[in-house]
Every structure is written in C-alpha cells, then in structure tokens.
Structure 1
Amino acid sequence: MAESLKELAEVEYWVWLVIAPIMLTQSTWLFIDARKRKRYPWFWGLWGLIQFPLPLLFYWLLVRRKRKVK
C-alpha cells in the first residue's frame, strides 16, 4: 500500500490538471442527464467523480440505450 501512495506522489502535476476537469465534466454531465431522466442522479454523479470511463459506459448501457421490445 505504501508503494502505491509513493507512485501517486510521483505523478506529474500537469497530469492531475488534465484529469480533474475530465472527471468533473463527466460527473456533471451524468448528474444532469440522470436528473432529467429521473434515474438516480446522485449515484451517477458521485460515481462519475471517482472513476473514468466506466460510469459513462454503464450509464449508456443501463439508461441511455433504448431497448427494443418484441
């Protein structure tokens, strides 16, 4: 565990400056779209803050994709 923290400390500062807006944008978009569709907006917004790109993929699969009914 100590080595993984050491690796995080060695990441260049500009990488964090690139990652932060991506995560914030993803989270904001997920929250707004989920709120519009009444699909657990806080869950999607919080999940979007901690990970990329899995929340977007799951949101697309579970919420946005239209299912064809036979």
Structure 2
Amino acid sequence: MEELKILPIWFWILLVAALIAQSTWLFIDARKRDSMPWLWGIWGLIQIPMPLAFYFLFVRSGWFRRGRRKEEK
C-alpha cells in the first residue's frame, strides 16, 4: 500500500478524467448502435482500456449484432 501513497495527485485526476471520458463515449456510442449502453458505460467506469478494446472488437466490428431492424433480417 505504500506504492499508492507515492503516486502524485495529478495521476489520480488524470485517471478519473480518462475513466469518465471512456465511459461517456462508450455509453453514447452504444446507445446509437442499440447495444446495451448501460453495460458498456458502467464497465467503462471500472477499468481502462479493456472495455474500449472489447467494444471495438464486438460491437464496432459487427461480431455482436443487437437491435436489427426488420428490413435487415
């Protein structure tokens, strides 16, 4: 636990800002694509950068399809 006391305050501020930015972007983009926005948003608040990597892999690449319109079927 001594290592955590050594980290400067700007590191924590930067980390929180990055987590909030990632979570917000994931939520907004997942909502546009109708692909579980709350899941992506909450997961984006917990850690970085794995939610972003998985989002690009599954949602943006098209591996994970949800909310298809009737015309597309």
Give the aligned CA root-mean-square deviation in angstroms. Answer: 1.3
Aligned residue among 45, 48, 51 for 1:49 = 45
Q: Which runs of 5+ in 2 are unaligned?
A: 64-73
Distance 1:9 1:46 in 2: 27
Q: Which runs of 5+ in 1 are unaligned?
A: none
- Percent of residue pairs identical: 52
- Residue 12 of structure 1 and its aligned partner are, at CA, apart by 1.4
Aligned amino acid, residue 56 of structure 1:
L
| More helix by percentage | 1
- Give every structure 1 segment of 4 or more consecutive aligned residues whose post-TM-superposition deviation is greater than 3 Å: none
Q: TM-score, normalised by structure 2?
A: 0.77
- Residue 20 of structure 1 and its aligned partner are, at CA, apart by 1.0
Distance 2:2 2:55 in 1: 33
Residue 38 of structure 1 aligns to a residue whose secondary structure is: coil
Distance 1:21 1:65 in 2: 26
**Larger deviation: 5-14 or 52-61?**
5-14
Q: TM-score, normalised by structure 1?
A: 0.80
